[in-house]
Amino acid sequence: MNLEYRYLPPEFVPDAVDIHIEGQPGTMLTLLGRPFLLELYRATLYSRWAEGFGVFHNGQLVAQAAMAASSAHFFGEFKRRRLWRVSLPVAAAIFKAPRLLKYIGQSWRYADLTRSPDGECDVIFLGVKREYMRHGIAPELVNYMFGWAHLHGMKSANFMVDKRNRAVRWLVSHKLKGFYLAHEFEAYGRTMLFYKVPIADNLDTAKMPAGEPVVPAYTYTEDENGNPRWI
């Protein structure tokens, strides 16, 4: 299969959202509704704190991933600058599913759940269209995400995984080197596992996505005293 792994172009945001909805039905982000997800995915492309990636087959988006260079900064900025634009549809979604209120409270402190320090990026989502699953596309896409992460000075890529999600657990444990379970917690009514994967251990398979990002993400460095610096 001839596949192309590239930065996600903005015109494919709706297709990326479809893959998210198909891959994660019933989760908090999906229940918040399509307008919310459209705004969130747009933000990953236009924010300097995140990036979006796509896999294309014959010009069609068949898999996608979104990464936050810093969850604390990305979601903070999203709440300040973009959430208000979708406040009406989000309010309607909460009216339909009141349990969302509790989950939103948890997401409001998403960065507290991940506890990823500066220099560690978080996978917001990784998904493959159903008919393209089980062909090794997600593990290969992760190689490109790691190439990007390395370019931006990241030391670790972190995966929040529903404990019942065998496919992602398989991916982390069989395809990625140096991974470890950093913490386990209850969120969104589920048991979540939080894996950390050192970028340095996976550089031999890391690759760079084709194309150009819409807005390049910040790069993490440290000053001579070891203090974080984003450039």
Ligand X SMILES: CC(C)(COP(=O)(O)OP(=O)(O)OC[C@H]1O[C@@H](n2cnc3c(N)ncnc32)[C@H](O)[C@@H]1OP(=O)(O)O)[C@@H](O)C(=O)NCCC(=O)NCCS
- Using DSSP's 3-state secondary structure scheme, residue 207 falls into coil
Rg (CA), the chain: 17
Q: How far apart are CA 55 and CA 73, in angstroms?
A: 26
Rank residues 13 and 153 by Cβ distance to ligand X and give the closer one. Answer: 13
Rank residues 127 and 198 by Cβ distance to ligand X and give the closer one. Answer: 127
Residue in the structure block whose two tokens are 């898999």: 63
Q: How far apart are CA 157 and CA 36, in angstroms?
A: 25
Rank residues 113 and 138 by Cβ distance to ligand X and give the closer one. Answer: 138
Residue type at 164 in one-letter notation: R
Which residue number is nearest to ligand X in terms of Cβ? Answer: 23
Q: Tell me how far, at minimum, the Cβ of 133 lies from ligand X, in Å.
A: 3
Q: Tell me how far, at minimum, the Cβ of 179 lies from ligand X, in Å.
A: 15
Residues forming contacts to ligand X in the complex (CB under 6 A) are 23-24, 125-128, 133-139, 165-168, 170-171
Please classify residue 226 by burial: count the beta carbons closer than 10 Å to its beta carbon, then call 0-12 exposed, 13-18 middle and 19+ buried.
exposed
Q: Tell me how far, at minimum, the Cβ of 87 lies from ligand X, in Å.
A: 25
Rank residues 70 and 143 by Cβ distance to ligand X and give the closer one. Answer: 143
Q: How far apart are CA 23 and CA 27, in angstroms?
A: 10
Q: Tell me how far, at minimum, the Cβ of 73 lies from ligand X, in Å.
A: 20
